[in-house]
Amino acid sequence: MIIDTLKNAQLYYGLGSRFVKAFEYLQQTDFSKVEKGKYEIDGTDIFAIVNEYDTISTEGEQMESHKKYIDVQYIVSGEELIGHDFLKSHTPSKAYDETADFMLFGETPTFFSKLEQGMFAIFFPTDLHMPNIKVKAPVPVKKVVIKISTASPE
């Protein structure tokens, strides 16, 4: 996993052309004018999901991971905690759903990171994560999750 600010995005261009496209989309889009929804960036290889919600407590929440896509989670406005752990010998509490590309894990995160406006986190398939968690009290958040395919580019 990687946590940084969007102004440092160029440091991660070495991860590949899909990351360059994802970061360029984040840098060039005025999200104050973008409604909630799914937006294609490069077919099914790269797409964005714009969401708005109030942060929640950890009670009843579980960590998730993906196999087909890497998450780039960018905070447009607000702040939240994201719980983390590394996928090792964890056993899923909800088996992998290939269509939705996720599985859930009931263990408690090993650590939490606070993401604020202008920050992003990258979660690879080996990174368990629990997003949308309140810092002190629930606050509204606008977040863009860019999904980057793990399939090799053609």
* Domains delineated in the chain: 2-149 (2.60.120.370)
Please give the C-alpha separations between residue 141 and each of 18, 25, 55, 97, 131, in angstroms, as whole numbers. Answer: 26, 19, 7, 27, 11
User: What is the distance between the alpha carbons of residues 49 and 33, in angstroms, rounded to a whole number?
Assistant: 14
Per-residue confidence in pLDDT tens, the chain, 154 aa: 999 999 999 999 999 999 999 999 999 999 999 999 999 999 999 999 999 999 999 999 999 999 999 999 999 999 999 999 999 989 999 999 999 999 999 999 999 999 999 999 999 999 999 999 999 999 999 999 999 999 976 5
- Specify the amino acid at residue 47: F
- Specify the amino acid at residue 139: V
**Backbone phi, then psi, for 7, in 5-degree steps?**
-65, -15
**In sequence order, what are the beta bridge partners of 44?**
42
Q: Copy the structure tokens of residue 79.
A: 């702040």
